[in-house]
Amino acid sequence: MRKHYRLMIPGPIEVSPDVLAHMSDPLTAHYGDRWVEIWRKTVSNLQRVIGTEGDVFPLVGSGHTANDIVMNSLFNPGDRILTLDNGLFGKRLDDLARAFGLDSVVLEKPWGVPFEAADIHEAAAANPGLKAVFMVHGETSTGVANPVHELAAAAREHGMLVLVDTIASVGGEQYLMDAWDIDVTVCASQKALGAPPGLALVAVSDRAWDTMKDRREPRGFMADLQNLRHFAETQADVHPHPGTMPVNNFVALIRSTDDILEEGLEACWTRHRKVSRVVREGVRAMGLKVMAEERAACVNMTVILSEDRFKPVAFSDFMKTEYGMHVGLGLGDYVNRTIRVGHMAHNANLEAVTPFLVGLEQYLRRQGFDVARGACLAGLD
């Protein structure tokens, strides 16, 4: 019999039974009246969750797929853009940019340290001709939430397009695409949106569409946002996307985003903030540290430093065996030095994070460390 572990990694996350049930709905054709209804409802929900009245395109694939499509659609080889690297996935944006022949100017900060508006101003002054900035909102390698609102405002002062990878943030972190004057938002279904993996999304501003007019030559078919827009407009009533789409993934995403909207965005953001604070305060009360600076701690997940007090792999095995939970290991240079716990969407509640904290305390005590009984629950006070 297959063993199920509650997914407490930074994504994919544990999916609610009601959302998961839609994955076994009877199949629906990827064209026609019913499909158009599903497509439009998906787009409408996503517009509300990310805070935009602009175009939103659901895509088949991971968040990386969506980032690829953005790079392919907006830029010509040789275009100069700024990428913000304070974690593995910030570095990945530079990798993607270079793969498309862009002149990527990398702005680096140590892991765990957020960017500030002053960093953007300094980079723009030192590197004339920057066309855009691409940044990660919720960096799951470090647990940092970069202050996108401030960074976007700084970039706009220098005429840059603002592109944001919100794969690990939207749905739990506050995010307001139009109000923050953001040009492109990339996200995916399997994290704080609360749905199974398989879908990504790209939201595009009018300013970004205008930029695409300058592309010297189209590249690709399914990976060209202008082509996807053409289908969405000319086939709107029958077949608004040129390919065969995983319809049940869409229906599951509709249910998960319905749940967010029924709760209310402000209430959802508040719930995530409260639960994340319980986790961080409990971790610190046990004598451990989190990687992210408190002022920029992501509400959707936490990265905990082991600091030689425990072996992350052994702790991960312990949590599977004793608590039926799968927690994440570190990335990059921190692969054997951190654990990463996701507390977003269906896991953003005390029923999920309390057993994790109790398990961590129990494990530390078993390793002989002096941890006061019940310290893990300090954040509940």
The ranges assigned to domains in the chain are 6-11+264-380, 17-261
Q: How far is CA 274 from the centre of its chain?
A: 19
Residue 288 amino acid letter: L
> What is the rounded distance in angstroms from the CA atom of residue 289 to the CA atom of residue 243?
47
pTM score above 0.85: yes
What angle (nearest 5°) sits at the alpha carbon of residue 295, between those of residues 292 and 301? 45
Query: Does domain 6-11+264-380 fall into CATH 3.30.300.30?
Result: no
| CB-based contacts of 205-213 (< 8 A; 24+ apart in sequence) | 205/52, 205/54, 205/177, 205/178, 206/54, 207/161, 207/183, 208/74, 208/161, 208/183, 208/184, 209/55, 211/74, 211/131, 211/161, 211/183, 212/73, 212/74
Cβ burial of 270 (10 Å; 0-12, 13-18, 19+) is middle
DSSP code for 262 = H
- N-term to C-term CA, the chain: 40
Question: In sequence order, what E strands does the chain have?
Answer: 6-8, 55-60, 80-85, 103-108, 132-136, 138-139, 144-145, 161-165, 184-188, 199-204, 289-290, 301-305, 325-329, 338-342
17-261 has the same fold as 6-11+264-380: no
Considering the domain delimited by 17-261, tell me its CATH architecture.
3-Layer(aba) Sandwich (3.40)
DSSP per-residue letters across 266-329: HHHHHHHHHHHHHHHHHHHHTT-EESS-GGGB-SSEEEEE-TTSS-HHHHHHHHHHHH-EEEEE
> What is the rounded distance in angstroms from the CA atom of residue 269 to the CA atom of residue 298?
11
In total, the chain counts a number of residues equal to 381
Per-residue pLDDT tens digits of the chain, which is 381 residues long: 467 999 999 999 999 999 999 999 999 999 999 999 999 999 999 999 999 999 999 999 999 999 999 999 999 999 999 999 999 999 999 999 999 999 999 999 999 999 999 999 999 999 999 999 999 999 999 999 999 999 999 999 999 999 999 999 999 999 999 999 999 999 999 999 999 999 999 999 999 999 998 887 778 899 999 999 999 999 999 999 999 999 999 999 999 999 999 999 999 999 999 999 999 999 999 999 999 999 999 999 999 999 888 999 999 999 999 999 999 999 999 999 999 999 999 999 999 999 999 999 999 999 999 999 999 999 997
Q: Tell me which residue of 48, 94, 39 sits closest to 67, measured CA to CA.
A: 94
